[in-house]
Chain A
Amino acid sequence: MHELSIAMSLIDVITETLIRENADKALSVTVEVGALSGVVPEALQTAFVKAASNTPLQDCRLSIFYVPVSVHCSVCERICQVPPDGLLCPNCGSSNIDIVRGRELDVIRIETS
């Protein structure tokens, strides 16, 4: 359960952004959590509520987009979605693949007022 640490880092990113942009308040924040990021979206949601309570961000809404793993196959040149415990090209079966999505742990946008 390191989601509380992640939530606190997220709060730091939001706070820095508000100061830099001279904004008063964050209404919502959108993040992407990849299937290979090591973070569980539900746990992050709970941790964020806990970490933000009694702070200026306590009314900030967190939207989490879960990003499945996609791999690029060097043999058949396709990009396919795969489960995190099956990193093979589902098209040709090759293991000669690169992960192109699924490692995200990113803040995408912040809605401010």
Chain B
Amino acid sequence: MNQPRILEVRTRILKDNDRIARDLRRQFVQTGTFVVSLVSSPGAGKTTLLQKTLTELSSRYRVAALVGDLATENDAKRLAESGVPVRQIVTGTVCHLEAAMIAEALKGWDLRALDILFIENVGNLVCPSSYDLGEHLRFVLLSTTEGEDKPLKYPTIFNTADVAVLTKTDLADAVGFDYAEAERSVQRVRPGMKIIATSSRNPDGLREYLGFLENRFQEFRCSVNGSSEK
């Protein structure tokens, strides 16, 4: 038996996930693929928003999606109606996506043929927050039907996201949604966070959101091209 020893380790528990995520991000930069993930509670409207997004963007950009769910391929089928490449990740009992699942799902895909890749996480406001997926932009969705205080109840997921997307604004009046209250909740858990209001039902309801996405994509491409010229 060895002598007892105290080893000062100081390492991230999820270091393996972080390493895979870092490798993915490096790969996405090399191929010029902008990667956007969506997290929210179940039923906040991720799939509907993504369906519209893919349809809208597919005429101008080469887009694709990965979609995570505990079971069924229903979401992949819905998203495939937009005519773009879609792959389902069935996680089984796992309540979130991990970087290794993304790496596995991307095998055999030519990322150079993609401008923007979307990743729809499993509907869950807790577990996905701990895992970096190598994405460049993380949207957290908050629907008007969920209540204004969701950010206060789930601060970590809002804190690890970059931008909040308010969905189902066409239902806001019907449910008495208080925009100012929701804004205050978001700012308490993520000071300075941008909030974009959307409605997937109204013809004009995604204009600001799509404009924001396209701007971010262009900035990404400029930074990638800039660094490759150096």
A binds B: yes
B156–A38 CB distance below 8 A: yes
Are A96 and B130 in contact (CB-based, < 8 A)? no
Q: Does chain A have a CB within 8 A of B14?
A: yes
- Cα separation A99 to B192 with both chains bound (whole Å): 13
- B130 touching A37 by the CB < 8 A rule? yes
Please tell me which one of the listed residues B12, B157, B192 contacts residue A95 in the complex, with CB atoms under 8 A apart.
B192
Q: Is the CB of B188 within 8 A of A1?
A: no
On whether the beta carbons of B188 and A5 are closer than 8 Å, the reply is no
Count of A residues near B, CB < 8 Å? Answer: 37
Q: Looking at the assembled complex, report how far the CB atom of A37 sits from the nearest CB atom of chain B, in whole angstroms.
A: 7
> A residues within 8 A CB of B8?
108-109
Choose from B1, B4, B13, B151 the contact partner of A13 (Cβ within 8 Å).
B13
The total of interchain contacts (Cβ-Cβ below 8 angstroms) comes to 115
Indicate whether A84 sits within 8 Å of B189 (C-beta atoms), given known contacts A6-B14, A6-B130, A112-B7: yes
In the complex, which residues of chain B have a beta carbon less than 8 angstroms from the beta carbon of A22? Answer: 2
Q: Is the CB of A37 within 8 A of B156?
A: yes
Pick from B6, B17, B126: contact of A109, CB under 8 Å: B6
B10, A107: Cβ atoms under 8 Å? yes
- Pick the contact of B189: A12, A38, A85, A106 (CB < 8 A): A85
Q: Assuming the A-B contacts A9-B14, A88-B188, A95-B191, are A27 and B129 also in contact, with contact meaning beta carbons closer than 8 angstroms in the complex? A: no
Within 8 A of A (CB), among B1-48: 1-17
A38 with B11: CB separation less than 8 A: no
> How near does chain A come to B94, taking the closest CB pair, in angstroms?
7
Q: Given A2-B130, A9-B13, A95-B187, does the pair A113, B2 have CB atoms closer than 8 Å?
A: yes
Distance A66 CA – B96 CA, assembled complex (angstroms): 23
**Cα distance A55–B180 in the bound complex, in angstroms:** 52
Which one, A10, A17, A23, A95, contacts B2 given CB within 8 A?
A: A23
A110 touches B96 (CB 8 A): no
Q: Does B127 contact A (CB under 8 A)?
A: yes
Closest to A112 in B: B5
Contact (Cβ within 8 A) B9 A85: no
B95 interfacial by beta-carbon distance below 8 Å: yes
Q: Are B14 and A111 in contact (CB under 8 A)?
A: no
* Residue count of chain B within 8 Å CB distance of chain A: 39
Complexed CA–CA distance, A9 and B189 (Å): 28
A24 engages B2 (CB within 8 Å): yes
The chain A residue with its CB closest to the CB of B126 is A38
Specify which chain A residues have a CB less than 8 angstroms from the CB of B2 in the assembled complex. 22-24, 112-113
User: A residues engaging B (CB < 8 A)?
Assistant: 1-2, 5-6, 9-10, 12-13, 17, 21-24, 27, 31, 36-39, 84-88, 95-97, 99, 105-113
Q: A107-B9, A107-B12 are in contact. List 17 more A-B contacts (CB 8 A).
A: A1-B126, A5-B96, A13-B15, A36-B160, A38-B127, A38-B130, A38-B157, A85-B155, A86-B188, A87-B189, A87-B191, A99-B159, A108-B10, A111-B6, A111-B7, A112-B4, A113-B1
Q: Which 10 A-B pairs have the closest CB atoms?
A: A2-B127, A95-B191, A38-B129, A38-B130, A84-B155, A38-B156, A85-B152, A113-B4, A110-B7, A85-B155
B binding-site residues for A, Cβ under 8 Å: 1-17, 94-96, 98, 126-127, 129-130, 151-153, 155-157, 159-160, 187-192
